[in-house]
Structure 1
Amino acid sequence: MLLLNKEDIKNVFSMKDAIEANKEAFTIYSKGKSVAPLRTNIPVKEQEGVMLFMPGYVSDLECAGLKIVSVFPKNIEKNKPVTPATVMLMDATTGEVSSILDGTYITQLRTGAASGAAIDVLAVKEAKIGALIGTGGQAEKQLEAMLVARDLDEVRVYSRNKDQRESFAIKMNEEFAHYNTKIIAVESSNKAIQDADVIITVTTSTTPVFDGNLIKKGALISGVGSYLHNMQEIDPVALTRASKIFFESTDAVLAESGDILIPLEQGLVSKENISGELGSVITGDIIGRESDDEIIVFKTVGIGVQDVVTAKRIYDKAITNKIGIEWN
């Protein structure tokens, strides 16, 4: 069994690799070539947190896996990751665990890469302005995915905490200087999204975090943070203005995400407004963007197949490069 920590993964697996792995995972899922049960959510009310158990199986890759991930917002006060996680990769020909990987980093990587895949497939080709709302533990990889998927001149970042958004912008300008993109902290979410071609929301908000009337024609919105029924980041107005709405998994989003469930319950949108899954766009089974004026929404809550495929591709590269620790 191979043990892979964060540095091991970083040594062999880039964001570009992660985006390709996510596109592969979404394709496998939408083709029905995986077993991906809905995740088990166990609330931990005392900590205002939730523990999630996410299994998946991909026969064509002869692998399976399980990710155990928690979302504990109070961890930030303890200087611990808000979303600690572990991924177990299994050999589906023997049923043995072949690798244990740093799931906290994989979660950041593949969650960012989900937005990256959506941007790569659905955003306007000449996108130049990005917006990132939320500067927590998932934000850095969301930003990196945005920069990998499109050659952006500027990304505006916003969080309610002024010091946090400003320090985030300073750090990211240093971290991603090689992209030659200006990363600017702004004083409101609405200022962030004005004229933005690509918008990512990654918060745990229970109310919409921007005014949907301000979304420009042609924008792509990737909603990442709303993974429970009571959470809502995306203004329903943006959904009503959108030409197309895509998910990574229709079953998962309609089982969990308040971004979609709340507007459905309020009658603001209907299931007829749902265009389909990103994997089906990648395979060409359904049409993605048809014009540069279309507003498109992509909603993701995360599925186990993403973790399994990403872990398998990391494992393969680690074996080739002789990275990691063998544990018998």
Structure 2
Amino acid sequence: MLILKKDDIKKCFTMRDAIEADKEALEIYSEGKAKVPLRTNIDIDEKNGQNLYMPAYVGGNQAAAGLKIVSVYPDNISKGLPSVPATVITLDADTGELGAVIEGTYLTQLRTGAVQGAATELLARKDAKVGALIGTGGQAATQLEAMIEVRDLEEIRIFDIDFSRAKKFAELMADKFNKNIYPCQTAKECVENADIITTVTTSKRATFNDEWVKPGAHINGIGAYTPEMCEIPCETIKRAKTIVFDTLDGVWQEAGDFIQPLNKGEISKDMITGELGQLVAGKIKGRTSDDEITIFKTVGTAVLDVYIADKIVKKAQANGYGHEFELN
């Protein structure tokens, strides 16, 4: 059994590696070659906690199997522990034997940033120069990294409801990536005239106004992973010509951005172009003009966790990273 920590992942697996792995995983999913049972949630009432179990199997030539476990324990903060620890367990797809145990928090951040990067690479204008990032939580750094990886951005604006957080984040990222990254006092300042808009929050209302979105912009909705949450304005959804989901089933079950206007009769399911895996495979069209607005929405899927984990394990083994243990 191989044990991989966050630093091990960083040493052997780049953002570009993750983007390509996410593309492959979602193409396999859209071809119907993956199995993703419903997530199992167990409430631990006496500990004010919850355990979530997300198994998946990805078929094809590079089969992968495993399980992601996420625990939500708000009281951990007072104990100096992460409130949402995550772990990914991989299994040998041929034998079912335990393969690896991987630190799951960074893996989740990496694959979530990468799926946005894949969508942005395929949907945003090739000449995009201005990026906007709304939200500076745990997912923000990899979201920013992915945008920078796929487009040669000259300017990235950062907005958070806490300006001091936005300022600190912008300073750290500017040093890390050597880019013109600066904080904004308002969401309007952040979004206006931006070519790529990525919002990654738990907001229950749209994080920007439709009138701020210029023709030709590409929008990534990364947060809003429950029916109560919402980041993208309904008016912008109606303006968009191309709308792509990571998984149709997942978004229609979980994303308030789309569930709420659908239930109100403001949008219809036939407005959705299709899944990212279909776009990767060339089965649906992406952007067809420089002036159209494109949208990508993701709520995540264990297919990404399991597939990218398997890729990480193979690269770690090839390069001697991690710690191996015999179980028998």
Question: In the alignment, is the contact (CA less than 8 A) between 1:110 and 1:306 conserved in 2?
Answer: yes
Where 2:111 maps in the other structure, the secondary structure is helix
1:277-288 correspondence to structure 2 within 5 Å: 277-288=275-286
Evaluate the alpha carbon distance shift between residue 165 and residue 43 of structure 1 in structure 2; reply closer, same or farther with a 3 A threshold: farther
Secondary structure of the residue that 2:34 maps to in structure 1?
coil
1:70: how far off? 3.9
Runs of 4+ in 1 over 3 A off after TM superposition: 40-52, 70-83
TM-superposed deviation, 1:48: 8.9
* 1:222 pairs with 2:220: yes
Trace 1:225-244 onto structure 2 (pairs within 5 A).
225-244=223-242
Tell me if structure 2 keeps the 8 A contact 1:82–1:137.
no
1:106 aligns with 2:104: no
Q: Who is 2:197 aligned against?
A: 199
Compute the displacement of 1:81 (Å): 4.1
- Is the contact made by 2:25 and 2:58 (CA closer than 8 Å) also made in structure 1? no
Letter in 1 for 2:236: A
Report SS of the residue matched to 1:57: strand
1:236/1:112 Cα in 2 relative to 1: closer, same or farther (>3 Å)? same
State whether residues 136 and 203 of structure 1, in contact with CA within 8 Å, keep that contact through their aligned partners in structure 2: yes
Paired position in structure 1 for 2:3: 3
Aligned to 1:113, the other structure's residue is in SS state helix
In 2, Cα distance between the equivalents of 1:54 and 1:240?
33
SS of the equivalent of 2:35 reads coil
Counterparts of 1:193 and 1:73 in 2: how far apart (Å)? 32
2:294 paired with 1:293: no
Partners of 1:44 and 1:186 in 2: how far apart?
Answer: 40
**5+ unaligned residues in a row in structure 1: which ranges?**
none
User: CA separation in 1, counterparts of 2:131 and 2:197?
Assistant: 6
2: CA distance, partners of 1:291 / 1:76: 48
Contact 1:128 1:153 in 2 (8 A): yes
Tell me how far apart the structure 1 counterparts of residues 46 and 128 of structure 2 sit (CA, whole Å): 43
Look up the equivalent residue of 2:118 and give its one-letter code: A
The aligned runs of 1:242-253 (5 Å cut-off) are: 242-253=240-251
2:266 to 253, 268, 273: 268
Distance in structure 2 (CA, Å) of the matches to 1:250 and 1:316? 30
The alpha-carbon distance between structure 1 residues 45 and 144, as it changes in their structure 2 partners (threshold 3 A), is farther
**Alpha-carbon distance change, 314 to 49 in structure 1, aligned in 2, over 3 angstroms:** same
Against the structure 1 CA distance between its residues 217 and 50, is the aligned structure 2 distance closer, same or farther, given a 3 Å change threshold? farther
State the SS of the aligned residue for 2:33: coil
CA contact (8 A) 2:91 2:100 kept: yes
> How many equivalent residue pairs?
325
Does 1:165 pair with 2:189? no
Question: Within 5 A, what are the aligned runs for 1:292-311?
Answer: 292-311=290-309
Shift of 1:52: 3.2
Q: Secondary structure at the match of 2:194?
A: coil
Q: List aligned pairs for 1:133-172, cutoff 5 A.
A: 133-172=134-173
Query: Structure 1 pair 4/164, CA: closer, same or farther in 2 (3 Å)?
Result: same
Distance 1:138 1:83, change over 3 A: farther
TM-score by length of 1: 0.94
For structure 2, the residue ranges without an aligned partner over 5 or more in a row are none
- Compared CA separation, residues 168 and 49, structure 1 to 2 (3 A): farther
Instruction: State the one-letter code of the partner of 1:59.
Output: G
Partner Cα distance (1:222, 1:248) in 2: 11
Aligned residue in 1 for 2:132: 131
- One-letter amino acid of the structure 2 residue matched with residue 254 of structure 1: W
Task: Please report how far the alpha carbon of residue 63 of structure 1 lies from its aligned counterpart in structure 2 after TM superposition.
Answer: 2.2
Q: Say whether the 8 Å CA contact 2:19–2:117 is kept in structure 1.
A: yes
Q: How does 1:55-134 map to 2 (within 5 A)?
A: 55-60=55-60, 61-70=62-71, 80-81=81-82, 83-134=84-135
Distance change >3 Å, CA 21–CA 156, structure 1 → 2: same
SS at 1:111 equivalent: helix
Q: Residue 320 of structure 1: CA displacement?
A: 0.6
C-alpha contact 1:83 1:137 (8 A) present in aligned 2: no
* Alignment deviations for residues 214-252 of structure 1 (CA, whole Å, 9 cap, x no partner): 111111111111111111111111101111211010001
